[in-house]
């Protein structure tokens, strides 16, 4: 079974004749442990595809299944909880909760679920990401690269089915970008974590196991 | 099972949010604290008044028997229903130094605020009041001998005590003497006591039962009904709050809570708006709607609870200061619980919408949310000149709800402020005195009568009191009037006519002695305002031999157990100078219901009055002068009056001072309420200004970096804020003015208000302060914002 299945996804905005086809029949299948990059120019539909895959947006037609669960059939609350447990997000602008410290930000998805954190796993990922000494810091005391590592740790902590990374290096300089990408690749290999990353940068996309090109709402693999 | 509710992490985030946004938290805390303080103080004052009333009722007599001798008193005291009696005897008033009156009283039980010395025991010992000392010769003090004529020629008296009382009549020297002195002045036995009756177990009796007991005791001691006076004060004290009063109290509380609701709602609405992206992020990583709602609600709760507790404490302190006598621990508990319940309800209502809005934020909207969104802004085809005013206008339009909320909050506070300030400026001790006692002038000359002459009258004449005395000699003559008018500075004299008569309501068994007052055509307009039924037309009443009965404060009903109606037939007997009585029949044609200068029980057109008696009926002269309180005029009038012991001289200033003492707490309370409401409005506006500044840091940096000067930016921000203030000023004035007029006029019936005064000065200061605060705050914030552009650009 694929970890993620997207079948004939369409996302249309507006009405005829001024209809905008952000996605126009996208089929996509991702397996466990894959590191996939979705590449496309600005306006190609890659962000729309990522949002729909993550349950943040609803397709006009088509379906998305994550670990066999069809997202469209879930209520808003079920979807939120499903997302919390099965989908990790890494955003371009980190999106850390400014009033929580680094430790609290990382374990937030687990705590929202009223669950207990896997301490060993937590220590492992914070060590890998170089965050052990930063756990009591607040986000605004960290650099961009460090904040993005925290975001990666937060995405990993629930051992989700899939991590969706939206231009994770968009706000970083080249060296930091390379560090972050390297970490993403490493964690994907280490934990057999499925990662889907969207980017407009072909060079960055080369790091992935598979590259999917999207143009005008259609996949061109 | 899905375990989606985690209170611990939600509480943690809520607390951290509170700590991170100190300004918003502080404003919300202050708003709740102030609202609860006001409500606590208000409830404690009401309950305190009730408690004081209970205490006073226990100390209050139920009725008074007049003209009782000592033998009858001794019998009454033995009655099984009598708890105790207090005996009062007075000597006739005597003039002192041509200006003051000496009132000598024997009281078997003195009530005083403070006492120095010892109660007099022997015939030549007296007690004076502290206020009276200023009218007596300098050096008069405790232990000193004082030469006084108390009515039996000049004698020496030793001052054994000085008492401080709550209230004293102006220009009156109050002397308290022994029983022996009374007897000495009355051929060995004083027979004209007033006996104050205190029944056993009165607090558990219905008022009708009390009345029955009193009538029984009177009948058993051959005391006629006309010598029985039921205490209206006791009746008022024993009454609970009426439903009308409870509604009024509830309305005041509702106003306070609504003002608090508006401010808190505005603060939280703006806060949620500020955090749309954060809430979207939390939704994206898995926080469900209920958790977001709970988080915002907890933020409100964690701020409100300490605010409310602080409010309970402050309110309790203020409540104690206002009504220390009424303080009672149970009242505190009731007030605290009520205030907290109302506070929590207000919190729930004001937080509900913002919290709901926060929970409904969809992650995709929030992640794509642009704080500088230009949605709903119309695109213009023509090019527009972007002035500071135009920028300000655009900024206000792009978040209409925020702007409208702030205007609403300010406007509401403005309207309530106008109402309270109007009331505060329309009610004053001077207004009250002008309404009731000194309608036209600053001085009054009154006919009181001569005791020496009264003593010589037969008992039937004595029944007509001042009427009989007027018939013998009334010094308020045309000659005296001319002399007073000739004093430099005296403009005019308004004459009031009246005489003591006996009235009887046909078929109602109501008969009593009272002073009947006349009114002129000039007074018709004022009576019209006070009228509640029938007519007060001067011509109509003359044509139909009509009278006007005043029913304000239910006095008629309380005293006689009857509510007069238009059409009632009344016969009034007038003393005549030849020693006979002339009885005439009248019809009640008008009923007045206020104390608006016409608080006397019965009035009739002065033409009819003057035809009813064959002597000078002048009773009071109000002296209207060119300038207020002229000492020279006073001296001249007093000199003229020195020859007339039956005339007294009164000053409006003394009455004003008395009223200020009596109502000081009320005036102070109104001031405080006005200030607090102003504070609510200012909090709301400051919060908006600071939030806007924070939200638009990036935008500000961009504008500055592309070439807008700091001055231009400042101008835009200042204009934006001042537009909000000015709109609310206009709306509050348009809506608030008629409402305040209505509110003030509704107090006219109490006599507390003479005329509506729009509080222009205070109102301009209120809005002036708001405009200034806005201006200074905008200046300060804009100066700070330009120092590190890149930092703001990156971090915003």
The pLDDT of residue B1: 35
- Taking an 8 Å cut-off on Cβ atoms, the answer to whether A111 and B6 are in contact is yes
pLDDT band at residue B773 using 50, 70 and 90 as cut-offs: confident
- Taking an 8 Å cut-off on Cβ atoms, the answer to whether B285 and A154 are in contact is yes
List CB contacts of B336: < 8 A, sequence separation 6 or more. B40, B312, B316
The radius of gyration of chain B's CA atoms, rounded to the nearest angstrom, is 35
The radius of gyration of chain A's CA atoms, rounded to the nearest angstrom, is 17
Please tell me which of the candidates A99, A109, A114 has its beta carbon nearest to residue B13. Answer: A99
Do you know the residue count of chain B?
A: 796
Q: Does A83 touch chain B (CB under 8 A)?
A: yes
Q: What is the pLDDT of residues B405-441, one digit of tens each?
A: 778 877 887 888 888 888 777 777 777 787 778 888 8
What whole-number percentage of chain B has pLDDT above 90?
Answer: 27
**Cα of B379 to nearest chain A Cα, Å:** 19
Q: Which CATH architecture best describes the domain A2-219?
A: 3-Layer(aba) Sandwich (3.40)
Q: Which stretch of B88-97, B218-227, B682-691, B748-757 has the lowest confidence by average pLDDT?
A: B748-757
3-class SS at A70? strand
pLDDT for B379 beyond 60: no
- Taking an 8 Å cut-off on Cβ atoms, the answer to whether B288 and A108 are in contact is no
Q: What is the pLDDT of residues A175-215, one digit of tens each?
A: 888 888 898 898 888 888 999 999 988 888 898 999 999 98
Q: What is the pLDDT of residues A86-141, one digit of tens each?
A: 999 998 888 888 888 999 999 999 988 888 889 999 999 999 999 999 999 999 89
Q: Which stretch of B77-86, B678-687, B732-741 has the lowest confidence by average pLDDT?
A: B678-687
Neighbours of A5 (CB within 10 A): 18
Q: What is the pLDDT of residues B709-735, one digit of tens each?
A: 777 777 887 888 888 888 888 898 999
* ∠ CA B33-B35-B37, rounded to 5°: 65
Q: Does B192 touch chain A (CB under 8 A)?
A: no
Segment (H or E) for B198: strand B193-199
The domain ranges of chain B are 1-56+241-370, 63-230, 387-430+653-795, 449-645
**Cα of B22 to nearest chain A Cα, Å:** 13
pLDDT for B366 beyond 70: no
Tell me which chain B residues have a C-beta less than 8 angstroms from the C-beta of A99.
13, 16-17, 19-20
- Taking an 8 Å cut-off on Cβ atoms, the answer to whether A99 and B364 are in contact is no
Distance of CA A126 to the CA centre of its chain: 18
Question: What is the average pLDDT across B160-177?
Answer: 84
- Taking an 8 Å cut-off on Cβ atoms, the answer to whether B278 and A97 are in contact is yes
- Taking an 8 Å cut-off on Cβ atoms, the answer to whether B19 and A99 are in contact is yes
3-class SS at B546? strand
pLDDT band at residue B370 using 50, 70 and 90 as cut-offs: very low
pLDDT for B211 beyond 80: yes
- Taking an 8 Å cut-off on Cβ atoms, the answer to whether B4 and A81 are in contact is yes
Question: What is the average pLDDT across B515-523?
Answer: 90
Q: Does A80 touch chain B (CB under 8 A)?
A: yes
Per-residue exposure over B157-192, b if at least 16 CB sit within 10 Å of its own CB, e if not: bebbbbbeeeebebebbbbbbbbbbbbbbeeeebee
- Taking an 8 Å cut-off on Cβ atoms, the answer to whether B12 and A100 are in contact is yes
Question: Which residues of B, range 562-621, sit inside 8 Å of A by Cβ?
Answer: none
Q: Does A17 touch chain B (CB under 8 A)?
A: no
Q: Does A104 touch chain B (CB under 8 A)?
A: yes
By the 10 Å C-beta count (0-12 exposed, 13-18 middle, 19+ buried), B440 is classed as middle
Question: What is the average pLDDT across B255-277?
Answer: 78
- Taking an 8 Å cut-off on Cβ atoms, the answer to whether B291 and A76 are in contact is no
Q: Which stretch of A16-30, B617-631, B741-755 has the lowest confidence by average pLDDT?
A: B741-755
The pLDDT of residue B707: 66
- Taking an 8 Å cut-off on Cβ atoms, the answer to whether B286 and A104 are in contact is no
pLDDT band at residue B46 using 50, 70 and 90 as cut-offs: confident
Q: DSSP letters along B199-236, please?
A: ETTGGGS-HHHHHHHHHHHHHHTT--GGGEEE-HHHHH
Segment (H or E) for A53: helix A46-53
Neighbours of B313 (CB within 10 A): 15
By the 10 Å C-beta count (0-12 exposed, 13-18 middle, 19+ buried), A32 is classed as middle
The pLDDT of residue B376: 41
pLDDT for B383 beyond 60: no
Q: Which stretch of A73-77, B377-381, B391-395, B472-476 has the lowest confidence by average pLDDT?
A: B377-381
The pLDDT of residue B51: 84
List CB contacts of B532: < 8 A, sequence separation 6 or more. B551, B591, B592, B593
Q: Which of B174, B595, B626, B645 is nearest to B443 (CA)?
A: B626
Tell me which chain A residues have a C-beta less than 8 angstroms from the C-beta of B8.
111
Q: Does A85 touch chain B (CB under 8 A)?
A: yes
pLDDT for B375 beyond 60: no
The pLDDT of residue B641: 86
CA distances from B310 to B263, B315, B768 (A): 18, 8, 30
Q: What is the pLDDT of residues B84-108, one digit of tens each?
A: 999 999 888 888 887 788 889 998 8
Tell me which chain B residues have a C-beta less than 8 angstroms from the C-beta of A56.
284, 362-364, 367
- Is residue B385 within 8 Å of B364, Cβ to Cβ? no
* d(C-alpha B749, C-alpha B566), whole Å: 20
**Cα of B793 to nearest chain A Cα, Å:** 13
- Taking an 8 Å cut-off on Cβ atoms, the answer to whether A84 and B278 are in contact is no
The pLDDT of residue B242: 64
Tell me which chain B residues have a C-beta less than 8 angstroms from the C-beta of A85.
286
CA distances from B21 to B28, B267, B268, B688 (A): 11, 11, 11, 13
B267 or B144, which is more confident? B144
Count of alpha carbons within 13 angstroms of residue B210, beta-carbon side: 25
Q: What is the pLDDT of residues A50-59, one digit of tens each?
A: 989 998 888 9
- Taking an 8 Å cut-off on Cβ atoms, the answer to whether B19 and A100 are in contact is no
Q: Does B363 touch chain A (CB under 8 A)?
A: yes
- Taking an 8 Å cut-off on Cβ atoms, the answer to whether B9 and A112 are in contact is yes
Q: DSSP letters along B408-453, please?
A: HHHHHHHHHHHHHHHHHHHB-HHHHHHHHT-SS-SEEEEE---HHH
Q: Which of B616, B614, B613, B609 is nearest to B545 (CA)?
A: B609
Phi, psi (degrees; rounded to nearest 5) at B236: -65, -40
pLDDT for B380 beyond 50: no
Q: Does A81 touch chain B (CB under 8 A)?
A: yes
- Taking an 8 Å cut-off on Cβ atoms, the answer to whether B6 and A114 are in contact is yes
- Cis preceding-peptide flag for A70 (omega within 30 of 0): no
Q: Does A109 touch chain B (CB under 8 A)?
A: yes
Nearest residue on chain B to A94, judged by CA atoms? B281
Give, as one character, the DSSP assignment of residue A133. G
CA distances from B532 to A159, B548, B748 (A): 82, 11, 13
Q: What is the pLDDT of residues B26-37, one digit of tens each?
A: 888 888 888 888
Please tell me which of the candidates A80, A95, A98 has its beta carbon nearest to residue B286. Answer: A80
Residue pairs spanning A and B at CB distance below 8 A: 77
Q: What is the pLDDT of residues B435-452, one digit of tens each?
A: 778 888 889 999 988 766
- Taking an 8 Å cut-off on Cβ atoms, the answer to whether B278 and A77 are in contact is no
Q: Which of A113-122, B95-104, B226-235, B392-401 has the highest mean pLDDT?
A: A113-122
For the question of whether the overall pTM of this predicted structure is more than 0.95, the answer is no
- Taking an 8 Å cut-off on Cβ atoms, the answer to whether B287 and A80 are in contact is yes
The pLDDT of residue B374: 40
Tell me which chain B residues have a C-beta less than 8 angstroms from the C-beta of A112.
4, 6, 9, 285-287, 291
B150 or B754, which is more confident? B150
Question: Which residues of B, range 616-655, sit inside 8 Å of A by Cβ?
Answer: none
Question: Which residues of A, range 166-205, sit inside 8 Å of B by Cβ?
Answer: none
The pLDDT of residue B787: 53
pLDDT band at residue B378 using 50, 70 and 90 as cut-offs: very low
Segment (H or E) for A175: helix A174-191
Question: What is the average pLDDT across B64-73?
Answer: 91
Q: What is the pLDDT of residues B288-319, one digit of tens each?
A: 989 999 998 998 899 999 999 999 999 999 88
The residue whose two tokens read 């006599």 is B751
pLDDT for B749 beyond 70: no
Q: Which of B688, B714, B712 is nearest to B785 (CA)?
A: B714
Do you know the residue count of chain A?
A: 221
pLDDT for B496 beyond 90: yes
Q: What is the pLDDT of residues B573-582, one digit of tens each?
A: 999 998 899 9
Q: Which stretch of B39-43, B109-113, B716-720 has the lowest confidence by average pLDDT?
A: B109-113
Q: Does A16 touch chain B (CB under 8 A)?
A: no
Q: DSSP letters along B58-98, please?
A: HHS-SEEEEEE-HHHHHHHHT-TTEEEEEEEEEPPPEEETT
| Mean pLDDT value across chain B | 82
- Is residue B193 within 8 Å of B105, Cβ to Cβ? no
């Amino acid at each position: 079974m694929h970890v993620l299945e997207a079948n004939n996804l369409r996302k249309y905005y507006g009405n005829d004749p001024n209809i905008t086809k952000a996605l126009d029949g996208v089929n996509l299948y991702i397996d466990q442990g894959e590191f996939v990059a979705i590449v496309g120019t600005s306006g190609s539909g890659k962000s729309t595809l990522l949002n729909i895959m993550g349950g943040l947006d609803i397709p006009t037609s088509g379906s998305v299944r994550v670990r066999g669960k069809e997202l469209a059939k879930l209520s808003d609350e079920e979807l939120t909880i499903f997302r919390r447990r099965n989908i990790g997000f890494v955003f371009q602008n980190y999106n850390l909760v400014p009033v929580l410290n680094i430790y609290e930000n990382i374990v937030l998805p687990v705590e929202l679920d009223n669950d207990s954190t896997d301490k060993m796993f937590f220590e492992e990922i914070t060590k890998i990401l170089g965050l052990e000494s930063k756990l009591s810091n607040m986000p605004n005391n960290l650099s961009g690269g460090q904040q993005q590592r925290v975001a990666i740790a937060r995405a990993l902590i629930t051992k989700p089915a899939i991590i969706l990374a939206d231009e994770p290096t968009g706000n970083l300089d080249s060296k930091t970008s390379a560090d972050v990408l390297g970490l993403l690749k490493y964690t994907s290999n280490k934990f057999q974590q499925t990662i889907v990353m969207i980017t407009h940068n072909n060079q960055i996309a080369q790091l992935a196991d598979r590259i999917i090109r999207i143009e005008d709402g259609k996949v061109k693999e | 099972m899905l375990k989606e509710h985690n209170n611990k992490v939600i509480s943690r985030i809520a607390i951290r949010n509170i700590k991170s946004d100190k300004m918003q938290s502080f404003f919300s805390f202050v708003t709740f604290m102030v609202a609860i303080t006001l409500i606590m103080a208000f409830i404690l004052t009401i309950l305190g008044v009730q408690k004081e009333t209970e205490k006073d009722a226990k100390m209050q007599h139920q009725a008074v028997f007049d003209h009782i001798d000592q033998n009858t008193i001794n019998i009454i005291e033995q009655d099984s229903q009598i708890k105790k009696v207090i005996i009062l005897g007075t000597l006739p008033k005597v003039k002192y130094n041509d200006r003051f009156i000496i009132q000598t009283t024997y009281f078997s039980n003195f009530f005083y605020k403070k006492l120095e010395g010892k109660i007099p025991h022997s015939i030549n010992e007296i007690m004076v009041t502290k206020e009276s000392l200023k009218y007596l010769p300098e050096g008069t003090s405790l232990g000193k001998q004082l030469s006084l004529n108390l009515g039996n020629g000049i004698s020496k008296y030793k001052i054994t005590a000085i008492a401080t009382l709550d209230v004293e009549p102006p220009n009156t020297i109050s002397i308290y003497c022994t029983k022996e002195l009374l007897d000495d002045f009355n051929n060995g036995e004083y027979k004209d006591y007033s006996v104050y009756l205190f029944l056993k177990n009165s607090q558990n009796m219905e008022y009708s039962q009390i009345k029955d007991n009193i009538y029984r005791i009177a009948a058993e001691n051959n005391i006629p009904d006309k010598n029985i006076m039921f205490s209206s004060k006791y009746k008022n004290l024993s009454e609970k709050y009426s439903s009308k009063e409870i509604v009024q109290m509830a309305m005041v509380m509702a106003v306070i809570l609504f003002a608090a609701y508006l401010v808190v709602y505005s603060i939280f609405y703006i806060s949620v708006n500020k955090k749309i992206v954060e809430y979207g992020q939390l939704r994206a990583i898995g926080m469900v709607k209920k958790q977001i709602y709970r988080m915002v609600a907890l933020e409100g709760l964690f701020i409100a609870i300490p605010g409310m507790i602080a409010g309970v404490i402050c309110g309790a302190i203020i409540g104690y200061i206002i009504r220390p006598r009424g303080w009672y621990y149970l009242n505190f508990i009731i007030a605290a619980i009520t205030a907290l319940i109302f506070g929590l309800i207000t919190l729930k209502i004001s937080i509900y919408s913002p919290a709901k809005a926060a929970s409904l934020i969809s992650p995709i909207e929030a992640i794509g949310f642009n704080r500088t969104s230009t949605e709903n802004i119309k695109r213009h085809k023509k090019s527009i000149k972007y002035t500071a005013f135009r920028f300000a206008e655009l900024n206000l339009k792009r978040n209409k709800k925020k702007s409208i909320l702030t205007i609403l909050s300010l406007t509401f506070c403005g309207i309530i402020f106008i109402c309270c300030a109007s009331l505060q400026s329309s009610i004053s001790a001077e207004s009250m005195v002008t309404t009731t006692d000194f309608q036209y002038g600053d001085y009054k000359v009154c006919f009181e009568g001569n005791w020496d002459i009264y003593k010589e009258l037969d008992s039937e004449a004595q029944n007509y009191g001042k009427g009989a005395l007027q018939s013998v000699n009334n010094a308020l003559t045309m000659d005296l009037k001319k002399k007073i008018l000739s004093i430099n500075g005296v403009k005019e004299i308004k004459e009031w006519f009246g005489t003591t008569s006996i009235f009887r309501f046909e078929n109602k068994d109501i008969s009593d002695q009272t002073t009947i007052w006349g009114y002129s055509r000039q007074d018709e307009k004022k009576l019209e305002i006070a009228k509640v039924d029938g007519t007060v037309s001067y011509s109509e009443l003359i044509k139909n031999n009509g009278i006007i009965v005043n029913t304000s404060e239910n006095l008629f009903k309380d005293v006689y157990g009857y509510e007069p109606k238009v059409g009632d037939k009344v016969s009034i007997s007038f003393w005549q100078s030849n020693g006979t009585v002339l009885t005439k029949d009248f019809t009640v044609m008008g009923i007045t219901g206020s104390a608006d200068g016409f608080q006397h029980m019965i009035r009739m057109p002065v033409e009819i009055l003057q035809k009813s008696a064959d002597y000078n009926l002048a009773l009071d002269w109000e002296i209207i002068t060119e300038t207020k309180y002229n000492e020279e005029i006073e001296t001249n009038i007093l000199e003229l009056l020195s020859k007339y012991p039956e005339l007294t001289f009164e000053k409006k200033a003394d009455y004003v001072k008395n009223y200020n003492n009596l109502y000081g707490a009320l005036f102070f309370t109104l001031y405080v309420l006005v200030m607090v409401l102003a504070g609510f409005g200012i909090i709301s506006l400051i919060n908006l200004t600071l939030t806007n500044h924070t939200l638009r840091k990036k935008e500000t940096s961009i504008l500055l970096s592309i070439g807008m000067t700091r001055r231009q930016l400042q101008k835009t921000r200042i204009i934006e804020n001042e537009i909000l203030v000015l709109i609310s000023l206009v709306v509050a004035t348009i809506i608030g003015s008629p409402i305040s007029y209505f509110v003030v006029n509704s107090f006219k019936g109490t006599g507390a208000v003479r005329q509506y005064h729009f509080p222009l000065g205070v109102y301009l200061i209120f809005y002036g302060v708001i405009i200034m605060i806005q201006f200074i705050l905008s200046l300060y914030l804009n100066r700070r914002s330009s120092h590190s552009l890149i930092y703001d650009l990156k971090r915003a």
